[in-house]
Amino acid sequence: MTTDRMLQFVRTEKAMPEKRGADARKEDFDEIYKAFSKEKATEQASRCSQCGVPFCQTNCPLHNNIPDWLMLTVEGRMEEAWEVSSATNSFPEICGRISPQDRLCEGNCVIEKGFDSVTIGAVEKHITETAFDNGWVKPPLPREERAETIGIIGAGPAGLAAADQLRRRGYQIEIYDRYDRVGGLLIYGIPGFKLEKHVVERREQLLRDAGVTFTLNTSIGEDITFAELKEKHDAVLIATGVYKARELGGNDDPMTGAMTGIVPALDYLTASNRIGLGDSLPEAEMASHSATGRDVVVIGGGDTAMDCVRTAIRQDAKSVTCVYRRDRANMPGSVREVMNAEEEGVVFEWLTQPDGFEGDDAVTAVRCSKIHLGQADATGRRVPQPIEGSGYSMKADLVIKALGFDPENLPEAFAEPRLKVSRWGTINIDWQSMMTSIDGVFAAGDIVRGASLVVWAVRDGQDAADRIDTWLKAKAAGADKIAS
Ligand code: FAD
Ligand code: SF4
């Protein structure tokens, strides 16, 4: 009986896959966690108590059937484990690697209360890699072709998940992206030490093998108008993500000025990822976006800031400091990532606020003040208050601003005033139909939620595919009725 082999949390301790030592991992951009062996995955999966009400599953944005795939892993029924895990998630090997499980499934695992949680993400990765090794992962080919075409703007996880699901249903899919590569932030944002690029390229190939076409280096609104795209396709999905970097103290803040040596996080990470992918960058861009031999200060406390500090370490910076105005307990980034950064030699200046920069043409220091956390505001977060007289200078010749992202002005970029957006600029959709204010135009991912997570982008992409399918079938049925 399988359950005899489960519930092992009482005698078996939680283990993560082996992590490469900090000195070794600073030398390259390879993933830092090794894969679980079959035996280790079985051992760790067996810690699950097979809860009647599995909080891991209810707190997963995709409602992945985690207890079942853990049990199937323990039983050695790996192909079935793969089928269960891929039934709800288009890209489980990606979520297994980079979802913040400590805030989602693992953070809600019931045995977390007295014992450490089950190691869910690493088992998910093990199942999917086993499936790839055995050739079980196939291109999403349809049983029957359909004539309708769908134009997807954005080849990030939301657009790709929608393409995967729609192609399975027989639709003709064309994905447009202004980048030269497929993957969105999976390729140009998230560094290889969290997600190696071949993992994303492998998915791209499967989609291509299934007949999905990619029109790259093509910005909708510039190279092709939104109106042309809408005219060409039976339905359109907007999955363009959010890219406008926030500035210190607001987007018009003069504080950042024209000084050199101050760069936005995504420009910095994109340059590093391009080099890793074998691109040669113009010399000036290489110089302005390299941390080698420099005193680097990264401003921000989210996952993007963590990716910047750890990239700078790998570029052999002289020193790397992360400046964040709240404390460790109140930072938005994953606890695991902060720990990894500390192991690699990053210094964290908690409760510290940047007030300005020093230098003539090039930055030489960041002016900072220490912070006291005051009463909680309406959002429940304690308000950072500068401590008078606490100002000091922090040496820096490269400053990376990782303060978050806002959407671009899409109605303007697409010359489409009918596209309704929220006051933050995210696209308004009807959450039932996932349709925007324009008939036949749907939206998914960060451009709807604001900067979020890959797992939510996958969920939205899958849901949008479902709603587009329903809408197109209803439309076809209506047309048939009129014709008869
Ligand atoms: P994106 O991935 O941003 O893709 C949008 C695509 O649309 C891009 O390829 C873009 O080029 C294209 N596009 C935009 N405008 C146009 C246009 N006009 N015409 C044509 N193409 C266009 N999430 C996690 O879960 N775990 C992590 O560890 C993690 N780390 C992150 C690290 C960084 C540095 C960043 C910035 C984000 C991170 N995230 C992480 C968040 C995650 O990457 C995003 O939530 C997710 O990628 C959003 O997916 P998306 O498909 O909506 O948008
Ligand atoms: Fe297993 Fe934890 Fe999920 Fe319960 S909450 S089913 S113990 S993984």
- 443 within domain boundaries: yes
56 lines ligand 2 (CB under 6 A): yes
- 109 within domain boundaries: yes
118 lines ligand 2 (CB under 6 A): yes
Domain end residue (candidates: 405, 440, 456): 405
Residues with CB under 6 A from ligand 1: 98-99, 153-159, 176-179, 184-185, 189-190, 194, 219-221, 239-241, 266, 269, 303-304, 307, 445-446, 452-455, 457
Do 35 and 79 belong to one domain?
A: yes
Do 352 and 392 belong to one domain?
A: yes
- 141 within domain boundaries: no
- pLDDT for the residue numbered 251: 46
- 144 within domain boundaries: no
Q: Looking at the predicted structure, is the pLDDT value of residue 13 above 90?
A: no
- pLDDT for the residue numbered 249: 65
Enumerate residues 6+ apart whose C-beta is below 8 A from 17.
33, 34, 35, 36, 40, 122
pLDDT class for 20, splitting at 50, 70, 90? very high
Q: What's the one-letter identity of residue 385?
A: Q
Average the pLDDT over 243-260 and give the result.
Answer: 70
Ligand 1 atom nearest residue 269's Cα: 34
Ligand 1 atom nearest residue 265's Cα: 34
- 301 within domain boundaries: yes
Do 380 and 297 belong to one domain?
A: yes
Question: What is the residue-averaged pLDDT of the chain?
Answer: 93
- 94 within domain boundaries: yes
Alpha carbon nearest to ligand 2 atom 2, residue? 109
Do 313 and 401 belong to one domain?
A: yes
pLDDT digits (tens, 9 = 90+) for 33-79: 999 999 999 999 999 999 989 999 999 999 999 999 999 999 999 99
| Ligand 1 midpoint to CA 457 (Å) | 9
445 lines ligand 2 (CB under 6 A): no
- 142 within domain boundaries: no
- pLDDT for the residue numbered 114: 66
First to last CA, the chain: 58
- 138 within domain boundaries: no
CA–CA distance, 481 with 136 (Å, rounded to integer): 41
Do 361 and 437 belong to one domain?
A: no
| Ligand 1 midpoint to CA 235 (Å) | 22
| Ligand 2 midpoint to CA 52 (Å) | 9
pLDDT class for 257, splitting at 50, 70, 90? low
From 98, 124, 185, the mutation candidate for ligand 1 (largest count of ligand atoms within 8 A of CB) is: 185
| Ligand 1 midpoint to CA 369 (Å) | 33
Residues of the chain with pLDDT > 70, as a percent, come to 96
| Ligand 1 midpoint to CA 269 (Å) | 13
CA–CA distance, 341 with 298 (Å, rounded to integer): 12
Q: Looking at the predicted structure, is the pLDDT value of residue 254 above 80?
A: no
60 lines ligand 2 (CB under 6 A): no
| Ligand 1 midpoint to CA 171 (Å) | 24
Q: How far is CA 433 from CA 41, 88, 265, 421, 450, in A?
A: 39, 19, 35, 16, 19
| Ligand 1 midpoint to CA 184 (Å) | 5
Do 84 and 190 belong to one domain?
A: no
CATH of the domain at 215: 3.50.50.60
pLDDT class for 1, splitting at 50, 70, 90? very low
User: Do the bridges between strand 363-376 and strand 392-395 make them parallel or antiparallel, or are there none, so unpaired?
Assistant: antiparallel
Do 401 and 413 belong to one domain?
A: no
Burial of 293 (0-12, 13-18, 19+ CB in 10 A): exposed
54 lines ligand 2 (CB under 6 A): yes
User: Ligand nearest 118 Cα, by number?
Assistant: 2
Domain end residue (candidates: 376, 405, 434): 405
pLDDT class for 312, splitting at 50, 70, 90? very high
Do 78 and 20 belong to one domain?
A: yes
- pLDDT for the residue numbered 252: 47
Domain end residue (candidates: 133, 160, 184): 133
Do 260 and 389 belong to one domain?
A: yes
- pLDDT for the residue numbered 484: 67
CA–CA distance, 187 with 195 (Å, rounded to integer): 9
Do 127 and 162 belong to one domain?
A: no
Burial of 114 (0-12, 13-18, 19+ CB in 10 A): exposed
Q: Looking at the predicted structure, is the pLDDT value of residue 317 above 50?
A: yes
Alpha carbon nearest to ligand 1 atom 4, residue? 156
- pLDDT for the residue numbered 383: 86
Domain count, the chain: 3
Do 38 and 164 belong to one domain?
A: no
Do 52 and 197 belong to one domain?
A: no
CA–CA distance, 123 with 36 (Å, rounded to integer): 7
User: Ligand nearest 59 Cα, by number?
Assistant: 2
pLDDT digits (tens, 9 = 90+) for 345-390: 999 999 999 999 999 889 999 999 999 988 888 888 888 898 999 9
pLDDT class for 285, splitting at 50, 70, 90? confident
Q: Looking at the predicted structure, is the pLDDT value of residue 460 above 50?
A: yes
Average the pLDDT over 196-201 and give the result.
Answer: 98
- pLDDT for the residue numbered 247: 84
pLDDT digits (tens, 9 = 90+) for 406-453: 999 999 999 999 999 999 999 999 999 999 999 999 999 999 999 999
- Residue 206: domain span: 149-242+407-483
CATH of the domain at 56: 1.10.1060.10
